[in-house]
Amino acid sequence: MGKVKAALRDEVHRANMELARSGLVMGTFGNVSGVDRAAGLMAIKPSGVPYDQLKPEHIVPVSLATGEVVDSNLRPSSDTPTHLELYRAFASCGGVVHTHSESATALAQAGLPVRCLGTTHADHFRGDVPVTRPLTKREVATDYERNTGLVIVETFRRKRLSPEEVAAVLVLNHGPFTWGADAKGAVENARILEYVARMEILVRSTGDGRRHRFPGVKRPAAYLVDRHYLRKHGKGAYYGQEKK
């Protein structure tokens, strides 16, 4: 178990440092977690620790089943209950990232999804990145962070979205969460989400069909979206080099 915790802490520490280098976080905002399902452990950035002081031993392991801290005197991120609900609901999820990146957060605050309007988006997300419903007063007052995770899961089930094909969400009035096969993949999805969110804002700034001189924005055909997504993901993917 000690080796498992050390390896998981190292993986999550490296992913948090990559997130810090990405420019998607400021101050102590944002966090990355990773999971070892066989060991029943999640590891996550400690609450409020600056990135320039973060070390692998600071990463906090918690029980995937109970959320209790394992072998650490530090408090885990306040977003820990949100991460746990995503791991419990999305079986393929191996890493989770939360940021307050500028463009994605702006759309979350406006209650606007990141629409799939072209092939750049479709290369990574097979459809719109959705926005959650608002949390109720009761959901905010009691178990707020856990309810944030539950409303994300609810959004994917209600919209019948695959968390593997759309590995991102905007929490209304809050900000983005992304996930991936591991912590590193979740960070990459956070970077891509911010990029396509910035493009969404640029498209909307053209007038998006509401001004006479601009045509309405037309969505790409579903077959084009599918082609771009599936050539990079899934059994028939042919983008990149074969793994030996």
Active-site residue set: 123, 239
Q: Give 85: exposed, middle or buried? Use CB within 10 Å, 0-12, 13-18, 19+.
A: buried
Q: Taking CA 28 as the corner, what is the angle to CA 84 and CA 186, rounded to the nearest 5 degrees? A: 45
CB-CB contact of 98 with 180 (8 Å) = no
